Structure 1
């Protein structure tokens, strides 16, 4: 147990050192992983330069302390997303599309022949399946293009869209689902307006532009507006974990 604790503490120390070295490298050259190189870590050769160097180093300590929990969250998310990414890679784009069509087709058939009490169930699930399939295909396709920028900017947001948008689209075709999904969306929108947009002065503009009541398309726009920023945050957290804790 003690050896395990030492391993955890050693890993945290390594993370913090890498983060501080990365912070230093924002301004100064040859800071990250430079201790074991021939030239070593670069340091200024003047008193004023050294004072500024130490000041920048001191400022980085609380910054690193605040950011490190995000690194741990990113490492956890990276583990989860790479399990999904590995499955998607093995299936390929065609395989992901076919799997989605089979799953959602089975659900639509179930709604059609077994769940007649669910008003509009077949159409709702069929349309939701189409949205999920297209979103999943876009996520896998943009991920296959390669490059961290494309993955963060497009693949993660489309993956979030595949998760969040189908229930909302289904609710627009089924009164039974609408009675559950749409009021929850309104409650979430009110919370976002009061706690996220109001402090920055954007609540009035969004509430006037996207009135949810009675406008089905605005529910779709709302969840797209949630899915994309959430996907960007997820991608940035995973990228931060890659920077601090490389898997290689």
Structure 2
């Protein structure tokens, strides 16, 4: 009985030692506090998440001139200035980066939201497939054309032929753009996603209603005036500043297919913008696999 109790005691000790060893190894291999890998293993809450993002943004800025600021290694650790000149330059550079962090954080939030919704859309497109996307486009633009006709048409009249043509045109544009976005998103490479996938996705959002309006007069009453107002604001605003407003007004007329070209021209840079913000978000807070 004594010997059995001794074996039982030994077993408990061995289990305890093994547990302590595992805990010790976990602590050894866990990234140090302040390291992004350490932060990922905890649930910091909203305030903590904001603090982590701001810290990452500032460390990214510091990494431009100073080594081992962003994700420093566990062996060498974060670089710190040693001389007075290094200390002065280090803190001056840090102060210069504070305004950029303040400006960059809202852009980072937009990148997070864009990444979240793009993942949802990509997942839905994968489940629907091409046939599902086509059917969904027909239903959506059919309802849109019917609603616009009853709202803007004379006495609620609905032109069946014009409505069908508008639905087909919008569905074709939406399906082709969505298919291209889906195809480009499957090609490896961040540059492909930014330069091709996101512009195609924005085109799938913006272009179909404009194309449908070319064939459905009642849709024109809702889309074309708003497009003209937006074009005037852009021409009188940023494009006027860079000297392109006069050239565009001389070379292009906003009528018919001009509306399609306008929204296509807007979709591409907007796609680059949102794609770049998603890449920015992935760099600051990498997406968990």
Q: Give TM-score scaled by structure 2 length.
A: 0.74
Correspondence for 1:153: 195
How big is the shift at 1:105? Answer: 4.0
Structure 1 unaligned spans of 5+: 1-5
Retained in 2: the 8 A contact 1:108–1:122? no
How big is the shift at 1:117? Answer: 1.7
1:105-127: CA deviation from partner (whole Å, max 9, x where unpaired): 45677879xx9723611111111
- Call closer, same or farther: CA 1:108–1:32 in 2, change over 3 Å: closer
Retained in 2: the 8 A contact 1:165–1:223? yes
1:181-231: CA deviation from partner (whole Å, max 9, x where unpaired): 21221111111111221122221111112211xx42211110001111111
Q: CA RMSD in A?
A: 2.4
1:102-147: CA deviation from partner (whole Å, max 9, x where unpaired): 23345677879xx972361111111111111100000000001122
Query: d(CA) in 2 for partners of 1:63 and 1:179?
Result: 43
What are the within-5 Å matches in structure 2 for residues 1-248 of structure 1?
A: 7-34=45-72, 37-91=74-128, 95=129, 97-106=130-139, 117-118=158-159, 120-212=162-254, 215-248=255-288
Query: d(CA) in 2 for partners of 1:18 and 1:105?
Result: 45
Query: d(CA) in 1 for partners of 2:124 and 2:77?
Result: 42
1:68-109: CA deviation from partner (whole Å, max 9, x where unpaired): 111122212222221112222344xxx1x2112223345677
Retained in 1: the 8 A contact 2:177–2:201? yes
The count of residues paired between Structure 1 and Structure 2 equals 235
- Call closer, same or farther: CA 1:192–1:24 in 2, change over 3 Å: same
How big is the shift at 1:27? Answer: 2.3
Higher Cα Rg, which structure: 2
Query: d(CA) in 1 for partners of 2:285 and 2:170?
Result: 38
How big is the shift at 1:44? Answer: 4.8
Query: d(CA) in 2 for partners of 1:182 and 1:76?
Result: 29
1:6-34: CA deviation from partner (whole Å, max 9, x where unpaired): 72222111111111111111222221021
Q: State the secondary structure of the residue aligned to 1:32.
A: coil
- Call closer, same or farther: CA 1:21–1:187 in 2, change over 3 Å: same
Query: d(CA) in 2 for partners of 1:79 and 1:126?
Result: 30
Retained in 2: the 8 A contact 1:108–1:123? no
